[in-house]
Every structure is written in C-alpha cells, then in structure tokens.
Amino acid sequence: MTDVTDPLAAEIHGPSPRQLLKARALSHKGLIFGMMVVLLLVLVAILAPVLAPHDPYAQSLMNRMVPPVFMGGTWEHPLGTDHLGRDYLSRLIYGARVSLMIGAIAALISGVIGTAMGVAAGYFGGKVDAVVTFLINVRLAMPVVLVALAVVAILGGSLTVVICVLGLLLWDRFAVVMRASTLQISRRDYVAAAQVIGASTPRILLTEIMPNVFNNLIVIVTLEMAHAILLEAALSFLGLGVQPPTPSWGLMVSEGKNMMLFEPWLVLIPGAVLFVLVLAINLMGDGLRDVTAPEGRS
C-alpha cells in the first residue's frame, strides 16, 4: 500500500500547479522586465493627459528644435522640441497611446479571426481544415508590408484604416498555431470523454479546447502586437500610416529624418522608445511561453 500512497501523498502536499507557475514566473527575469516595461508604458499611455507637460499639438515656431536636457537644453522641454516647436516628451507620451492602441486592437482583431479559423480547422478537420489551410497559404503568399502599403495608399492613411488593415493581415500565425494546438488537444481522452457524455460542440470548444490552447494564444498575441506596432511605425515613417498632427513614434522618426545629420536626437529618442517597447513585448511573450510551457524551452 505504501508503494502507491507515498508518491500520491507527496503530490498532495507539494506546491499546486498555480503556485509552481507563479514561482517560475517570478524567477524569470526576462518576463519580469518585459512586464514591468509594458505595464509602465500602458500606465503612461493611460495617464498621458496628466503626465504630459505640454499640449502635444501646441506649435511654437519660435522654439523649434530645442535640444533635450542631456544635450544642453532646459527642463522646460526635457526631451527638447520638434521641427514645429512641439514638446517632444509630450508627443512621445501621447505617441505611446497610438502605438499601444494600434498594437492591442490589431492583435485583438487578428487574434479573433485567426483563433476562430485555427480552432475550427483543428477541431473539425476535413473540408473545413482544407479551406482554412488554403486561406492561410493565400495569406502567407502576400507580403504584409506591400499589401498594407497598397491598401493604405488607396484608402488614405488614418488611424482606423491602419488598425483595420493590420488587424486583417496579421491573423496567419494565430491560425497556424491554433490549428496545430487544437489538432493535438482534440485527440486527447478528455475531449473524447466530453463527446461521449454528449456535450455540445460549442461547449467542448469553449471548456475543453480553449483553456488548453490559451497558453499558446497569449504568446502569439504578444508577438503580433509587437509586429503590428513596428508595422505602424514603418507605415507612418513612409507617410502612409497615422497622419500628422497625430503623434506617432514612426511619424516622429520620419519627421526628424531630415535633420538626422545635425540633430540626431530627433530620430534617436522615438527610435529608442520604439525599440524598448517592442523588446519588452517580445521578452514578455518569450517569458510567458517559458513559464506556461516549460517543456518548450530549448
């Protein structure tokens, strides 16, 4: 008897899976760092009206390109002013809103589309799978940047257009990963058991499949969010994304580009912030993957 009960007892008295998860998460430096930075930027974005020292749209042509504090400027404009005399720090803070909003909404739209397609393909298989796989292939055959450029050029650049275009273009990875994960999960015994006791398909999808593919979903969400933020910056840099005077980090890089040789900080500051945000989101994604699926660590 002791042979059987001992390991069981040990398991009962050991830490619960949730506690294990928490311990792993807290010891993961990348995850902690990424989360802190993202959280900080989200707070900054939400509190922008409180934090920003100036109106990000207030133009003062007599105060153009004031250098930031660390290059000989004053605390009146800690990060200096841009080519139209607008406070750089305030524009950076409001720019965080644009970047995060685009990242989050685009990831949400593409997440919903991709997950629905992927889970359906993985669970139902057969013709549904064939159609979804075909759609994924079609989508993968189109270069994202090129299509986004073309669509934005035709419809005109605006925040809504950019969000929609990115949301409708970035679902491929969701679909691929969700399809593979669902395929794996739907062969498990507990799914078969649920089917045997007569649970409805929506119920099985929601209570048996989704909770088990959620880990993967979170990782993809972070990846695609970073992807969308970078694409928005690229589109804005090319003049096809968010239109002035809306502050956007990509647009700020683009506007500072002409003065790059003499006022490099105009490009360096928004570039650095963009880099940190994308890095943080990616670290967070990697960390989440490591923590939730430790066997996936390589």
Partner 1 sequence: MLAQKPTRSTLVAAVLMASVAMPALADKASETLNVAFTKELENVDSYFNSSREGVVLQRAIWDGLIYRNPETNEYVGNLATSWEWVDDTTLEFKLREGVTFHNGEAFNADDVVFTVNFVANEENGVKTQRNVNWMKSAEKIDDYTVRIHLKEKFPAAIEFLSGPVSMYPNEYYAEAGPSGMGLKPVGTGPYKVTEVVPGQHFVLEANGAYHDSPKGQPEIAKIDIRTIPDVNTQMAELFSGSLDLIWQVPADQANKLAQMGQFTVANESTMRVGYLQMDAAGRSGEDNPFTNKLVRQAVNHAINRQELVDALLQGSSKVVYTPCFPSQFGCVQDVTEYDYDPEKAKALLAEAGYPDGFSIDFYAYRDRQYAEAITSYLNAVGITTNFNMLQYSALREKNMNGEVALSFQTWGSYSINDASAMVSQFFKHGALDSTRDDEVLEWLNVADSSTAPDTRVEYYTKALQKITGEAFWAPMFTYNTNYVFKDEVAYTPTSDEVLRFVDMSWN
231 neighbors 118 (Cβ within 8 angstroms): no
Q: Considering the complex, what minimum distance in angstroms separates the CB of residue 244 from partner 1?
A: 5
Q: Considering the complex, what minimum distance in angstroms separates the CB of residue 61 from partner 1?
A: 3
Shorter beta-carbon distance to partner 1: residue 9 or 260: 260
Shorter beta-carbon distance to partner 1: residue 216 or 246: 246
Shorter beta-carbon distance to partner 1: residue 171 or 265: 265
289 neighbors 296 (Cβ within 8 angstroms): yes
Shorter beta-carbon distance to partner 1: residue 158 or 292: 158
State the residues that interact with partner 1 by CB under 8 A.
57, 59, 61-62, 64-67, 71-72, 83-85, 156, 158, 239, 243-245, 255, 257-264
Shorter beta-carbon distance to partner 1: residue 59 or 282: 59
Q: Considering the complex, what minimum distance in angstroms separates the CB of residue 239 from partner 1?
A: 6
Shorter beta-carbon distance to partner 1: residue 224 or 263: 263
Q: Considering the complex, what minimum distance in angstroms separates the CB of residue 233 from partner 1?
A: 17
Q: Considering the complex, what minimum distance in angstroms separates the CB of residue 150 from partner 1?
A: 15
Q: Considering the complex, what minimum distance in angstroms separates the CB of residue 90 from partner 1?
A: 14
